[in-house]
Structures are given as C-alpha cells and as structure tokens.
Amino acid sequence: MIRPTIRAASLKVTDPMPTFHRSFTSVDLMAYGAATWDWHRLHYDLDYARSVKLANVVVDGQALGAVCTKPLLDWLGPRAFIQKLTLKYRAMVFAGDTVRGEGEISAIHAEGDHDVVSVAQHLSVGDRLVAEARVEVRLPR
C-alpha cells in the first residue's frame, strides 16, 4: 500500500522538516559523475585534487540539490512534486564529509488546484554552512 501524501492543510509556517544526513564516498562521486557526464577530475582523482590544494575530491554542487529534495519528497509523500529549487553554495563538500540538512516551512499558498509549500533549508558539515536552499513543493489538496 502506498502511504498518503501530506496535505498542506496539516502544515503551518515554521513547521520543521525532519533533519537528514548524507555522506558521499569517492565511489558515490564516480557514479554521480557517470550519471551526469561530469568527468572533471576534481570529483574522482584524489591526486589531482591534492595538486590544486584541496583536502579530498569534491562533491559536485548539483548533488546537493538532490540532498535537499529527496528528504522533502520522502517526508511529504509520493504525490509531492518539486516545482522549484533555488540553491546557494557557501562552501565545498568533500568525499567523506557528512552533510546535515535542516529546514522549516517558510510559506504555504494555494496555486490553481493544488497548494505550494516553500521550505527553507540549511546544509552544513559540522559547524560549517555549505549551502542554503529554498524548495517549492506542489501538494495535492
């Protein structure tokens, strides 16, 4: 049985979303590069990353978009639809880092035959802010 999708009527501004964590291995980064055709050496070649004074291979910034959106869809349910994502990068994320994500509902409004819930998120590694996002999720009524 498919679980129900949360309705906007049961949510309010300032409600927190569940906190989430995501780590990336160098194998994850290679798989992501293959899926997106991003073969820049910064994402898989440790010797190259170190030659340009980086601590490790770098997580592709686009992957942080998935880090933001998947937990929202897991929380809100199978009929939730990401309609907009705005992402601001603040610092690099490296293989081996654990990204912690937190967020809260910042707005709810009706749009046509559905509702739109806006969620403001912060991603951090330890006490270092690495990205901020605003995600608009369309929910059925």
Mean pLDDT of all residues in 5-18: 97
Average pLDDT, the chain: 95
Q: Please report which residue ranges of 1-141 form alpha helices under DSSP H.
A: 26-36, 46-51, 61-76
Question: Positive or negative, the Cα torsion across 124, 9, 7, 135?
Answer: negative
CB atoms within 10 A of CB 140: 14
Cα torsion 78, 80, 81, 85: sign: negative
Using N-to-C axis directions, what is the helix angle for 61-76 and 26-36, rounded to 10°?
Answer: 90
Q: Specify the range with the lowest mean pLDDT, choosing from 25-29, 101-105, 129-133.
A: 25-29
**pLDDT score at 1:** 82
Integer CA distances (angstroms), 89 to 60, 61, 131, 139, in order:
11, 7, 4, 27
Q: 117, exposed or middle or buried, with CB in 10 Å at 0-12, 13-18, 19+? A: buried
pLDDT at 65: 94
Is the pLDDT at 118 greater than 90? The verdict is yes
Question: What would the pLDDT profile of 63-79 be if each residue is shown by its tens digit?
Answer: 999 999 999 999 999 99
pTM exceeds 0.95, yes or no: no
Residue 133 contacts residue 80 (beta carbons within 8 Å): no
Among the four given CATH numbers 3.10.129.10, 2.60.40.1930, 3.50.50.60, 3.10.580.10, the one describing domain 11-24+60-140: 3.10.129.10
- The domain segmentation of the chain, as residue ranges, is 11-24+60-140
